[in-house]
A and B are shown apart, each in its own frame.
Chain A
Amino acid sequence: MSTFLNLLVYGLADGAILALAALGFVLIYKATSVINFAQGEFLLVGAYMFYTAFVVLGLPLVAAVLVGVVVATLIGVLVERFILRPMIGEDPISIIMVTIGLSMLLKALVQMFYGTSPKSQPAILPRSSVEFLGATVPLNRLLVILIAAVVLTAFTIFFRRSRHGIAMRAVADDQQAAMTMGISVRRIFALAWVLAAVSALIAGVLLADISAVDQNLAGFGLMVFPVVILGGLDSVPGTIVGGLIIGLLTQFVSGYQDPGLATVVPYVVLVLILLVRPYGLFGETRIERV
């Protein structure tokens, strides 16, 4: 029972981080139809930016988070403006190639400035444990789940209620019609990249805190693909459910079976689900009527 509870908490924490990382991917795909293969590297860069502000520059936690957010915003804007915008109208394969190139570039830049060995960063979340239904569960995982839930809720409210959030969904639905409402499509594209970079920063910082500040962060980001295909490329609630399923699944398989199998399992489930539901679990159904 205690193993079960522990795996549950670990799985939910992984899943919550995956959901945050996948959220950025889905935003970009929904608003701009670009498949961003650099989402994992956004996590990596985010974590290293925070490390730089927090450890290298020695800023207080809140200031370091703010610096991270500002830098992530900047990266989002620059990537959209100078890498993706010139590609508007090019065919999807070229755009995919560009995002793969971007992922390699970001990874190389991180290696160039920070080297390949892990960086030590003091723990931000408490390392203590709490007793919970007879099991000892780590507090930091519980906090990761909480923080991710708050951030995801904030994003959801943004998309449902705010003018810019609704405008973003409008652009995702029908670009030309959005233009007739005076919505600047370019600005929305930039906004999508910014939000993706910021959510990846938060995911990266949380992940680094429960694992380590190193190159593997980008590898974890690769799991975004099973998550989004499971949840549906264009569904925000889908990324949350998809993230949690993949997170739980890998932890349970790794705990009860073996860790090697756990790395394959997400992809097996992915194929099975695609066979039954090609748009993923929550993919927007194409509305068809006259």
Chain B
Amino acid sequence: MSTATGTPSPGTSGALVPGGGPGAALLSLNNVEVIYDDVILVLRGLSLTVAEGQIVALLGSNGAGKSTTLKAVSGLLPSEHGEVTDGTISFRGEDITRVDAAQRVTRGMSLCMEGRHVFEHLSVAENLVAGAYTRSGKESAEDLDKVYEFFPKLADMRARIAGYLSGGEQQMLAIGRALMARPTLLMLDEPSLGLAPLLVQEIFGYIKRLNTETGLTVLVIEQNARRALEVADHGYIMEQGRIVLEGPAAELRENPDVKEFYLGLGEEGGRKSYRDVKHYKRRKRWL
């Protein structure tokens, strides 16, 4: 476990082996700085590494810059007047900092945006077809069957209009749609947002299965740190546009600070209300 002190401290994950294979760095961000509208500095030298075959959790409070991080990785910043002004992002050993969003999908990364963003007026099947836009017709027909097999619920609802599905069903659809691009790296921005606890468990079950059964690498943002650290191999904690803490998920779970601020457990082990946590947060920051 290492506590970063402003300067990036990669290497702790032991995931910087170049080249392919499990354990090698699939994605790495190096001192990335992001500015919106030319003035709003959101990421301040963020560095993180996602090793191939792992589930990596990115945690942090509201406004820390988690979504911005995923947008920077998937190339969505220009559509929001944002820009990577410093640092590099590399994927499979290639610098993709300036590559356009569509190209990044072709190279093997897929993002499931915060708030699901299914195509509301399209049917479930059409949503999935749209997800396979970068692939050939034959491949996508095969993948469609696989997604239906993986999410049997979606198969039953293939003709339904996506906008009328429940939140949990929409989340499955959003994940299924992202899988249709056949990514090597799947990025999920708060997949549990607005879902009942049982559904959250179901969604994380799916994420874990995807990782173990197909070797898919996953980078997931979560507010629910407990749930995320249960399934993740590695975790990063963000504050104000920087990584302030990182380590194997098992270690993070035991870290007293993490327990207190993110798992909602006080010294005595009892559950604290979110309000208390917020209050603490104001007094004591990570740095």
Contacts and interface: CB of A to CB of B under 8 A. Distances in A.
A178 B130 contact: yes
Nearest to B70: A180
Interface residues of B, number: 38
A169 B122 CA distance: 8
Contact of A177 (B102, B103, B119): B119
A173 B167 CA distance: 18
B119 A163 contact: no
Interface stretch (A64-72, A94-102, A239-247, A282-290): A282-290
Per DSSP, are chain A's interface residues mostly helix, strand or loop, or mixed? helix
B102 A167 contact: no
Interface stretch (A3-11, A181-189, A197-205): A181-189
A174 interface: yes
Contacts of B266: none
B113 interface: yes
A87 interface: no
A84 to B, nearest CB: 17
B133 A182 contact: yes
A289 B163 contact: yes
Contacts of A290: 167, 194
Interface string B163-194: 11001000000000110110000000000001
A179 interface: yes
A125 interface: no
Given A176-B117, A287-B164, A181 B177 contact: yes
A175 interface: yes
A195 interface: no
B101 interface: yes
Closest 3 CB pairs of A and B: A182-B105, A287-B163, A177-B117
Interface of B: 74-76, 79, 101-106, 110-113, 117-122, 126-127, 129-134, 137, 161, 163-164, 167, 177-178, 180-181, 194
